[in-house]
Chains A and B, each alone.
Chain A
């Protein structure tokens, strides 16, 4: 038909047979990938790096505050090639709450920061990749506001999946309470960022 243009879409799957890695949390599927860790908690980065070494991937970490736009990701990239997997590990602090101590609106709350971060990351990943994953882990501080923000983050992750899948981006994540250890959060994010996490696209696990 002269008025119809046919465009083909490929399914998102990975049929590579990766080398068996008994220490992996990703089935070995992160091997040789470029992984970016973005966090507002510098204390978790050494643990994350230790887990990533076992995955035999190339990785880099950045502070959440430095990532404003898609260009910040390109400029901070020291690896060869664009990032294939972005893992956000966001921990809530008292100063990240929705309201200030004086009960006024805090426009620099963690939800706003995370929203802007995801905007910048999706901009970068859409420009640079044929396929990528975006995994977000959010740990609450145990307060009522923390729980409120956690549910908002779950809804944000649920909603982003379908539009991002049109660009072959798999997006998922988890929210965790204060009781959950860093090791559990790291292991779960590695699984979610791998090819096995594709089935959890648009889902946020709630670790309590």
Chain B
């Protein structure tokens, strides 16, 4: 009787809670993932005061690089820099660059490239507004549209050109890594400024790789949902998720490790112009 009763029971699948703790961050930030190939490189990371940018900074410091953080708010950059120094890294500095200010972006970036002998530029700065998350279209105004497009796409274009100019002048081969998004690949956010700008970044990656063939190499990462403030998540949040294969929202440290791999010499040549999806099969 019990066997018959059990056969009609409905199974309720539930995920166990997974808290995004400092310990979890530390466990994904130790040991090299590139066999020491990035030792001595100099990296400029935009949008590095938090989220994926800060995780990338930590990963590249673990790999033995000199890291320059850039952002628009000095206090946040100071906090990021002291966080990294607390973790035992000293080879880190920061510069304040407002990517919404197009008049000084070119000059400031050239100064930074020359001062720190940058080999790797990571265009990570991005804005996701509430109107993007709500999936609005007809009510989007300039104040919702322009910051996203300017920061996500146009500033990446200016910085990529500036970096290529610098590499050509110095006769070095540099590498550019762009942070795009799966929103630029899937249709669900295609009509939002965020989705459009990220689709633009994907094409920018191909075009820079083609146009600046012997000067810079360029590839990009397209993450899905990541445990950052942009996704309304932070340290201490529950990051379980049914929509990914791993059953949790991607951690910034996972994206950062992939970024380090994509910046090694063998991978930049093999993946030049490509965008790598890193969303653990997340459905959109």
Contacts and interface: CB of A to CB of B under 8 A. Distances in A.
A47 to B, nearest CB: 14
B278 A200 contact: yes
A82 interface: no
Interface in A32-81: 54
A6 interface: yes
Interface string A6-17: 111111111111
B18 interface: yes
28 contacts: A3-B10, A4-B10, A7-B13, A11-B246, A11-B248, A12-B246, A14-B27, A17-B26, A19-B31, A20-B31, A22-B31, A22-B35, A22-B36, A23-B32, A24-B35, A27-B30, A27-B31, A161-B281, A162-B245, A188-B267, A195-B28, A198-B246, A200-B276, A200-B278, A203-B277, A205-B276, A207-B271, A208-B270
A162 B246 CA distance: 9
Contacts of A208: 270-272, 274
A23 B36 contact: yes
B158 interface: no
Interface residues of B, number: 49
A7 B266 contact: no
A184 interface: yes
Contacts of B34: 25, 187
A203 B246 contact: no
B32 A9 contact: no
B84 interface: no
Nearest to A206: B274
Contacts of A198: 246, 254, 280
A144 to B, nearest CB: 21
Interface of A: 3-29, 54, 161-162, 164-165, 170, 176, 180-181, 183-184, 187-188, 191, 194-196, 198-203, 205-208
Interface in B255-284: 255, 257-258, 261, 264, 266-267, 270-272, 274, 276-281
Contacts of B258: 196, 199-200
Interface string B109-132: 000000000000000000000000
B18 A201 contact: no
Nearest to B261: A191
B245 A18 contact: no
A21 B267 CA distance: 21
